[in-house]
Amino acid sequence: MSFSDLKKKSSLGSLTNKLVKEVEKMTKQGNGDERLWKPQLDKSGNGYAVIRFLPAPDGEDLPWVKLYSHAFQGPNGWYIENSRTTIGDKDPVSEYNSQLWNTGRDSDKDEARRQKRKLSYYSNIYVVKDSINPDNEGKVFLFKYGKKIFDKITAAMQPEFEDEKPINPFDFWQGANFKLKIKKVAGYWNYDSSEFGRVEPLLDDDDALEAIWKKEYPLTAIAGVDQFKPYEELKKRMNYVLGLDRDWLSEKLTEKAGTEESIDPYFDHQTKGPEHSHSHGHSHDNDDSGFNAPDIMASKESAPEEDDTLSYFQRLAED
């Protein structure tokens, strides 16, 4: 397009109309990962959907992948990053939290709890029923969930009582649909009422099942090495957010003098939460009990196993 054409289109207002349509399109689609399916609440404040967990993608061994991440706010903004502990490497936040925990001071333990790592799982799902967004029905998505839902999956595979028959929730033929039931408890999304239905094939057509299987998204790439920033970069970011690196902070404050821009080179100070500041967003499925354990590497001094605290981010997004 030539410059004269650009001017001509401007006079006609066609470019403006095109931009408006793109904005409307973005608003409808949202700014998240389109591969991800997210449940929603109805007007009564409850949520209900039926999904089916799918087998491992072709060439992969497991139908899920887990990812540890950190998301907390310090004096100088938000720290929202994947934790290198996911891939078995040392992580600066885990190391710092261990130091805090080992001081024995309650205030330091509280800080470690606030900064603990969050556990998320990803699986491919087939949406059987989504009343709020029926266009999602019959499609394959990635589903991000936390420890509580994963515990329900584990319980289905390893039932507690002998009169209960174990099932593989990820099986096309001998699996079961998962009824996702969401209630708000103390301001958090709670999935305790969610349950698996009866054992039944997802579909009675193997060709259709194969087509669904071929539409699955790779899982191992979600926690691939390239998804984690280098240790030194994470440490620098953590020191800045928490105000631990005074020299760097002083330098940033000097740079800010005479300008209205935020001193935070990664996130705007006005950002209220992770939904607005990083591509690795979070959703939630448990209550405040998730904050009862610190983010420290496994050791004899470790507190109980870290729960995911996905509902924390849900509340942040609603504030």
- What is d(CA 72, CA 242) in angstroms, rounded to the nearest whole number? 10
Contact predicate 229/278, CB 8 Å = no
H/E run at residue 124: strand 118-129
> What ranges do the domains of the chain cover?
36-318
30's tokens: 């949202």
Q: Classify 59 as helix, strand or coil.
A: coil
H/E run at residue 141: strand 140-145
Kindly give the confidence (pLDDT) of every residue in the chain, 319 residues in length, as a single tens digit, with 9 standing for 90 and above: 555 665 565 555 555 565 555 555 544 444 468 999 999 999 888 999 999 999 999 999 999 999 999 999 999 999 999 999 999 999 999 999 999 999 999 999 999 999 999 999 999 999 999 999 999 999 999 999 999 999 999 999 998 888 889 999 999 999 999 999 999 888 889 999 999 999 999 999 999 999 999 999 999 999 999 999 999 999 999 999 999 966 544 554 555 554 444 444 433 333 334 443 334 434 445 333 332 334 444 333 333 334 444 444 444 444 4
- What is d(CA 127, CA 57) in angstroms, rounded to the nearest whole number? 17
The fold adopted by the segment(s) 36-318 is: Replication Fork Single-Stranded DNA Binding Protein (3.90.198)
H/E run at residue 128: strand 118-129
- What is d(CA 31, CA 54) in angstroms, rounded to the nearest whole number? 25
Question: What are the beta bridge partners of residue 306?
Answer: none
